[in-house]
Amino acid sequence: MIRHYDILLPVYSRGFHIITELILDAVGELPENGLLNVFIQHTSAALTINENADSTVLTDFETVYNKLVPEDASYYRHTIEGTDDMPAHIKASMLGSSITVPIRNHRLQLGTWQGIYLCEFRNRAGRRKLVVTIMI
């Protein structure tokens, strides 16, 4: 059995945001066992799983990715949508557009300190859409 959900996220500022509870609220009760897949339908934002307890991790991620992929580089050709656009595409490709988490005993099998992140790379992004699939 497969269940599908479309989630329209609120607007998030640029940076890394934990959205685990938002996803769980949208899908309701999880099955006893299965897989949860989350896919983001955008090319300038990404998803990942990482630290969910210390908010400085979110800030450090933003700092490191901005140093790895700077804005205003003279070698970018895709600049029509602003100086943050091409770096956003590169960062999104580095992290990826989907994550999959096992479900056991009606719970996501995330580690104690893990959460699902929305990685927003645009300065003025709109609402992002997630496609969530639960496979039983």
User: What are the tens digits of pLDDT across the range 92-123?
Assistant: 999 999 999 999 999 999 999 999 999 999 99
pLDDT for residue 98: 98
Q: How distant, in Å, are the alpha carbons of 50, 70, 97, 115 from that of 123?
A: 22, 13, 19, 23
Q: Using CA atoms, how far apart are residues 7 and 77, in angstroms rounded to an integer?
A: 33
Backbone dihedral angles phi then psi of residue 101, each to the nearest 5 degrees? -130, 130
Within a 13 Å sphere around the CA of 68, how many CA atoms are in the beta-carbon half?
Answer: 13
22-135 adopts what CATH topology? Jelly Rolls (2.60.120)
**Contact criterion met (CB below 8 Å) for 85 and 79:** yes
pLDDT for residue 120: 98
pLDDT for residue 130: 99
Q: What is the CB neighbour count within 10 angstroms for residue 49? A: 17
User: What are the tens digits of pLDDT across the range 38-92?
Assistant: 999 999 999 999 999 999 999 999 999 999 999 999 999 999 999 999 999 999 9
Domains in the chain: boundaries: 22-135
- Looking up tokens 């709109």 gives 126
